[in-house]
A = this chain, B = another copy of it.
Amino acid sequence: MVTLKDIAQRAGVSSMTVSRVMNGNTKDVSKKTSQRIKKIAEEMGYVPNSSARALASSASRLIAALLSDYDEETTPLEDSYNSSFFGELSRQIQKEGYDLMLHYVKDYTSINYSLKSWNVAGAVFIGMFDENIKKIQKDNTIPLIFTDSYSSVRSITNVGIDDYQGGEMAAEYLLEHGHRNLAFIGPAAVSNGVIMHRLQGFCACLRDNGISIPPEHIIDSGAENMEQTLAKICRGDDPVTGIFTTSDFCASRVYAAAYQARLRIPDDLSVIGFDDVRISRYLTPPLTTIRQDIKRKADVVCQLLMKHIRNQDVPAENMVLGVELIERESVRNIQKKPGVELQR
């Protein structure tokens, strides 16, 4: 391992001079020695020891990404939204010259450990942390960025999207296309702010148009028998013709259930997803969905993080990014009066 000292000896200077050069404090060092030292460091293959740096300066160039890990069966990163977001975030953070650490966390203890152990410069929370936020907030002074949080704690920095409006847009679009008998499919977790707001926006818009969703049309995507449920509600006298799902992944499961139940999309059943994850455009038929700009979100999170790291006094802020409806081919127009048919 090459250390500052090694370089210093070779260059005939003190290790402080080398340190300064390595940190780009070029104005403090004469151009000549600076050049010389850089060359030697290069030759010797010097790589700064981040642990030593962190220890000495009590500030690391390390960011922790915390993913809430609820389910033993699956991994948070199997959810395309999470992996896309985390993937973009990693790249952004690396571009800023920081390193990234991943932690799956279950309880407060593991969150605390993740934050303290490597004295990270900041942390990004992906997933549900609402229960612990107050405590986390209290116990830490480093910048903490939450995503998609609907915590009642006011003073947190959060980056989310307009879930409510997303729900509204889905409702509106389905209504415009003549659908009146609708259903909602998503995880049962009512406590989850994101899902709840999507559902609320959806229902509110319907209500404004004199339509309501019966409780049995709010379906738990975790249940085993989606096929049968679908078959039941989409057949008979007053069939459900449109479904709003909380995620594109969930939509793909609806596709599969519909296929098994011999329901054709969009002929028998229209579906709207959420997220606009990579795969959505490749589903059969391509999925109409409420898009959130994941790359942009990651970018905003990263910038916010850097701002807070550079200046600890920046006040907490809650950023809400917009969503947009991406029209593809999973919703059929069933207007009575002549309307625009979906093109193929």
A residues touching B (Cβ–Cβ < 8 Å)? 1, 45, 47-52, 54-55, 60, 69, 74-78, 80, 83-84, 86-88, 90-91, 94, 99-104, 112-113, 116-119, 139, 249, 252-253, 255-256, 259, 265, 278-279, 281-286
Contact = CB atoms under 8 A, between A and B. Distances in A.
A259 B285 contact: yes
A100 B249 CA distance: 27
A259 B285 CA distance: 7
Nearest to A58: B1
Contact of A83 (B47, B54, B77, B119): B77
Contacts of A50: 51, 117-118
A344 B139 CA distance: 57
A283 B47 contact: no
B94 A84 contact: no
Given A80-B80, A100-B101, A255-B284, 9 more contacts: A47-B116, A75-B91, A77-B84, A77-B86, A78-B83, A83-B87, A99-B117, A101-B101, A259-B286
A86 B90 CA distance: 13
A105 to B, nearest CB: 9
A113 B47 contact: yes
A163 B212 CA distance: 53
Contacts of A54: 51
A83 B249 CA distance: 15
26 contacts: A1-B119, A45-B112, A47-B112, A51-B60, A51-B119, A69-B91, A75-B87, A76-B87, A77-B83, A77-B84, A78-B278, A80-B80, A80-B83, A83-B83, A83-B87, A90-B104, A91-B104, A94-B103, A100-B102, A252-B279, A252-B282, A255-B282, A255-B284, A256-B283, A259-B284, A265-B284
